[in-house]
Structure 1
Amino acid sequence: MKRARFTEEQIIGVLREHEAGAKTADLARKHGVSEATLYNWKAKYGGMDVSEAKRLRQLEDENAKLKKLLAEQMLDAAALRELLGKKMVGPAAKREAVAHLQAALGLSERRACNIVNADRKTIRYRSCRPPDTELRLRLREPANERKRFGYRRLFVLLRQDGEPSGINRIYRLYREEGLTVRKRRARRRAVGTRAPILVEPTPNARWSVDFVHDQFACGRRFRILNIVDDVTRECLAAIPDTSISGRRVARELTALIDKRGKPGMIVSDHGTEFTSNAMLAWAQENKILWHFIAPGKPMQNGFCESFNGRMRDELLNESLFFGLDHARTKIADWADDYNEQRPHSALGYLTPAAYAANLTATCDRLRTPDQLRRSHVALPAPDGVKSAETLIAAG
């Protein structure tokens, strides 16, 4: 506040001289003030003594301070209303909030930082981090090609191409580029207890079969018969057609056995194709144990259900099929890519084909010729195979 030229004592003294009979012009000339100032002093301090004048000055100062505080509080309230709905978590959000207050309300940086509760050094900081333009392009290429891949699988693909960056850096760029995959979550219901099925950790120990439905661009529906190896997670067959009967399922399984070998067990639901007389006769003729899951318990066939979910998320929901030939080509290409190129999180981000090759080689080294003849006896898990993979719970 600007300091006054005259104190209360001096003003009261001048007014006393005026009351004693001194002329206004003479007093103004004597004390170097205008006559209007003298009249203002008389209107304000007339009839007061020095103590009362000081008290009046103190009250005026306090009133000015209170007005200033009230104005500041109202300004702070207006600033907080401007920030309603803005998340101020993290330095970037606080920088944005401070810039908004400065632009909208004309606040100073110091005042805006006090309202936002941010350090001025944080607000003034400018990142020196390189733009990583080349790495962002390399990250976008597989992300655009495989739209349903998250940052972990994209990191594995980049690492396979020789990228030395860590997963945290890849995740940061993944978020900044807006590549986050929106999950399509289905409603989940609780399932009861179920007895586990002991499975030897070798290829062909158990297969799972199930159907997936979709439709062509013209609206006609078709179905896909999926056959999955539960241990290696390989897609053994993905057969699309407009109609697949029990006899067709038996023919496809026979051709697959001739190519790959006989499985120890096959798991399926109670679909009419799997419970038909043709399938029951085929299982008895080939001496294959067929296990039906409990009704209404799809998680007892969880390996094939998980594969169906990946197929629907990454292929069926992303593709438009114009006919049966087009669907067969697209599904065959996707199945080959699933087995040979796609890293699988349950296999330590190995591909199913690589995992199956490693598992077969390891089991061949650990088994004796006598044990090879008795393949129904479960052996200890080989090196690199976790205990959860040795005993696989399916129902």
Structure 2
Amino acid sequence: MQLLESHSVTVAMSCAIVGLSRCAYYYQPKLLDDSVIISVLDAITVRHLRWGFPNCFNRFRKLGYQWIHKCVYRVYCELMLNLKVKGKQRIPPRTPEKLSVPNKSGECWSMDFMRDSSRNQRRFRTFNVIDDFNREALGIDIAVSLPAGRVTRYLGNLAEYDGYPLTIRVVNGPEFTGKTFIDWAKSHGITIDYIKPGSPYQNGYIERFNRTYRTEVLDLYLFNNLEQARRITEEWLTIYNTERPHEALNNMTPFEY
């Protein structure tokens, strides 16, 4: 403007002298302030509390506004609407020990609990027991509550047919760490092998069995009552032990292996 007024030169020459584009010289801001952007951003974020900037900006375009990405993001940041992003937890590299396979049946049993609910929303638990040697499912007890006393009685019933194991591999749940369970194991000369907390891979045999039981029974049926759940489970256990092949057992069933 000073060149135009002082030296009476053209706009084109003035822009060339100062190195300014004529488009920039003639540019007029479309918005006097950011009030419109702020009002639209407020309307979107109030309705969609967990939307981040990409979703908000896409909504801008859906509503017909043509503001550029940088302009909207600048206002978005000034309003401090950025959602906090939880960083990834750095987990140290793990070298899990390979599960040892027992040399004979009855050498080590693995066991764990699962949860589910019936049609009337009544919650129940299952107590799953397998033999690590041939992955045989020794039994599944189902009840609303499974305290340590019931667990030990159920294991005693299984031992009447299969004998007591030398070792039991379990998690650090209260049913297995209490005095009732520990005294029962000592009375029958059973060693308790507790896995490390937060290390389910150390109990991989029963974890794999739980997944199969979940997908083939618990997620497949909507039980009317516990009796129906027990009946269907018993039928499935027979199929699991006598018909279902296991890749880890050279595609043989637990009974065949």
The question of a shared fold, defined as TM-score above 0.5 by the shorter chain, is answered with yes
> 2:139 matched to which residue of 1?
237
Structure 1 residues 242 and 191, CA, compared in 2 at 3 Å: closer, same or farther?
A: farther
Larger radius of gyration: 1
Q: CA deviation at 1:288?
A: 0.3
Q: CA deviation at 1:235?
A: 0.2
Structure 2 Cα separation of the partners of residues 270 and 217 of structure 1:
31
Q: CA deviation at 1:197?
A: 6.3
Structure 1 residues 202 and 297, CA, compared in 2 at 3 Å: closer, same or farther?
A: same
- What SS does the aligned partner of 2:219 have? helix
TM value normalised by structure 2: 0.62
2:213 counterpart of 1:277: no
2:226 counterpart of 1:342: no
> 1:324 matched to which residue of 2?
226
- What SS does the aligned partner of 1:226 have? strand
- What SS does the aligned partner of 2:252 have? coil
> 1:223 matched to which residue of 2?
125
Amino acid of the residue matched to residue 353 of structure 1?
A: F
Structure 1 Cα separation of the partners of residues 162 and 204 of structure 2:
22
Structure 1 residues 190 and 352, CA, compared in 2 at 3 Å: closer, same or farther?
A: farther
- The superposition leaves residues 11-50 of structure 1 with CA deviations (integer Å, 9 ceiling, x where unpaired) of xxxxxxxxxxxxxxxxxxxxxxxxxxxxxxxxxxxxxxxx
Which structure dedicates a bigger proportion of its chain to strand?
2
> 2:108 matched to which residue of 1?
206
Structure 2 Cα separation of the partners of residues 245 and 190 of structure 1:
36
Q: CA deviation at 1:199?
A: 4.9
> 1:63 matched to which residue of 2?
none
> 2:162 matched to which residue of 1?
260
Contact 1:212 1:225 in 2 (8 A): yes
Amino acid of the residue matched to residue 224 of structure 1?
A: T
Amino acid of the residue matched to residue 155 of structure 2?
A: L
Structure 1 Cα separation of the partners of residues 228 and 202 of structure 2:
32
Q: CA deviation at 1:201?
A: 1.6
Structure 1 residues 191 and 342, CA, compared in 2 at 3 Å: closer, same or farther?
A: farther
- What SS does the aligned partner of 2:255 have? helix
> 1:296 matched to which residue of 2?
198
> 2:5 matched to which residue of 1?
none
Structure 1 residues 299 and 195, CA, compared in 2 at 3 Å: closer, same or farther?
A: closer
- What SS does the aligned partner of 1:210 have? strand
Q: CA deviation at 1:192?
A: 2.4
- What SS does the aligned partner of 1:270 have? coil
Gaps of 5+ in 1: 1-188, 356-395
Q: CA deviation at 1:191?
A: 7.1
Structure 2 Cα separation of the partners of residues 287 and 205 of structure 1:
12
2:250 counterpart of 1:351: no
> 1:250 matched to which residue of 2?
152
- What SS does the aligned partner of 2:244 have? coil
- Equivalent pairs, count: 167
Contact 1:199 1:205 in 2 (8 A): no
Contact 1:235 1:339 in 2 (8 A): yes
Q: CA deviation at 1:349?
A: 1.3
Amino acid of the residue matched to residue 229 of structure 2?
A: A
Structure 1 residues 191 and 237, CA, compared in 2 at 3 Å: closer, same or farther?
A: farther
- What SS does the aligned partner of 2:241 have? helix
- The superposition leaves residues 284-311 of structure 1 with CA deviations (integer Å, 9 ceiling, x where unpaired) of 1111001000000011000000000000
Amino acid of the residue matched to residue 191 of structure 2?
A: L
Q: CA deviation at 1:215?
A: 0.4
Amino acid of the residue matched to residue 336 of structure 1?
A: T
Contact 1:204 1:229 in 2 (8 A): yes
Structure 2 Cα separation of the partners of residues 214 and 231 of structure 1:
28
TM value normalised by structure 1: 0.41
- The superposition leaves residues 293-346 of structure 1 with CA deviations (integer Å, 9 ceiling, x where unpaired) of 000001100000000000001111111100011111011111111001111121
Amino acid of the residue matched to residue 275 of structure 1?
A: T
Contact 1:191 1:297 in 2 (8 A): no
Q: CA deviation at 1:207?
A: 0.4
> 2:189 matched to which residue of 1?
287
